[in-house]
């Protein structure tokens, strides 16, 4: 009960701060940096919920190997309350949203908060400290700001369009790697991976070419690590908007390149993503995985 009271107090304090800012400016002219303050706060509160519930929740399957926990729902409720409390006219698209909310927000042209309350659920269930709360705000298909917060490592990756990317307030940049021989590559696999899954086929092409391969179990963390210069390249074909939205703006603001794995323009609502530290490496990856 005490933790619930703390969360409620923090949320009330944030609401008062938001109302104060709105009183000093026209609501329709909110800046991206102001949106980002709410975005980061929501992700941190969502992450706090995850940390507090670690090891204390039941687990069930949405589908084969596709796990969901009470923590997913609790974190999403906390994030939703904050962002819609600040901007009640915005739409909300979360991984655990009901069908009506998903239908209303998918492909919408207005402002919509895109949230994965627990990216890396399998890691969370097994006690592996690589999971994150991922929160982003998009206008149509353009991501304006995003936060990826790993509460176990106390790493908060933030970015706002035109403002740069940061890790715990310190500016970050992609690595600058241009060749596969120097590249640390990450691959995200879908919950059900078949022998002909494009993610697996890309993985097999990357193995002999790259310096090494890593899998964190969290697409949001993979993208944040590219933004921070830890990883150099990542591909995922089966992701959804909530998996990648925050990470995409992180990579872009850190100087990286984003596209569809085919090389076509990135489509937020399709989710398929190829992210690279540099355009040179990106072009090589497109050629390698598409056989061109």
Write down how long the chain is.
292
**Band (192; pLDDT cuts 50, 70, 90):** confident
**Tally of CB atoms within 10 A around 22:** 14
**11 backbone dihedrals φ, ψ, rounded to 5°:** -65, -40
**Tally of CB atoms within 10 A around 284:** 18
Positions of E strands within 52-108 = 59-63, 66-69, 91-94
Place of tokens 């569809």: 260
pLDDT at 275 over 80: yes
**Band (126; pLDDT cuts 50, 70, 90):** very high
Closest CA to 157 of 276, 29, 43: 43
* Average confidence score pLDDT of the chain: 87
Cα 165–chain centre separation: 13
Q: Please answer whether residues 244 and 260 qualify as being in contact, where contact means their C-beta atoms are separated by less than 8 angstroms.
A: no
**Tally of CB atoms within 10 A around 85:** 15
Q: What is the DSSP string of 23-57?
A: HHS-GGG--HHHHHHHHHHHHHHHHHHHHHHTTSS
pLDDT at 266 over 50: yes
Tell me the pLDDT tens digit for each residue of 2-52.
Answer: 343 445 555 555 555 544 444 433 333 467 888 999 999 999 999 999 999
Q: Which domains does the chain have, with CATH numbers?
A: 2-171 (3.30.540.10), 180-290 (3.40.190.80)
pLDDT of residue 138: 96
Tell me the pLDDT tens digit for each residue of 61-93.
Answer: 665 545 678 899 999 999 999 999 999 999 999
Tell me the pLDDT tens digit for each residue of 106-121.
Answer: 777 789 999 999 999 9
pLDDT of residue 11: 53
């Amino acid at each position: 009960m005490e933790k619930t009271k703390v969360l409620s107090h923090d949320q009330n304090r944030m609401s008062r701060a938001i109302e104060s800012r709105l009183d000093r400016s026209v609501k329709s002219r909110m800046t991206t940096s102001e949106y980002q303050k709410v975005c980061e706060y929501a992700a941190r509160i969502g992450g706090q919920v995850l940390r507090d519930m670690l090891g204390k929740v039941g687990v069930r399957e949405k589908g084969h190997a596709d796990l969901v926990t009470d923590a997913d729902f609790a974190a999403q409720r906390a994030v939703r309350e904050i962002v819609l409390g600040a901007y009640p006219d915005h739409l909300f698209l979360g991984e655990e949203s009901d069908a009506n909310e998903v239908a209303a927000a998918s492909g919408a042209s207005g402002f919509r908060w895109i949230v994965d309350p627990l990216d890396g659920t399998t890691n969370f269930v097994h006690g592996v400290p690589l999971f994150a709360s991922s929160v982003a705000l998009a206008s149509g298909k353009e991501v304006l700001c995003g936060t990826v917060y790993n509460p176990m490592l106390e790493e908060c990756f933030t970015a706002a369009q035109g403002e740069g990317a940061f890790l715990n307030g310190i500016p970050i940049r992609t690595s600058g790697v241009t060749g596969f021989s120097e590249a640390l590559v990450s691959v995200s696999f879908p919950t059900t991976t078949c022998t002909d899954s494009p993610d697996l086929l890309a993985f097999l092409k990357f193995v002999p070419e790259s310096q090494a391969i890593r899998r964190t179990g969290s697409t949001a963390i993979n993208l944040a690590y590219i933004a921070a210069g830890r990883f150099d390249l990542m591909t995922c074909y089966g992701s959804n908007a909530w998996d990648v939205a925050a990470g995409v703006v992180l990579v872009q603001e850190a100087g990286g390149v984003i596209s569809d794995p085919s090389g076509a323009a990135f489509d937020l609502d399709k989710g398929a993503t190829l992210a690279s530290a540099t355009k040179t490496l990106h072009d090589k990856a497109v050629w390698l995985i598409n056989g061109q």
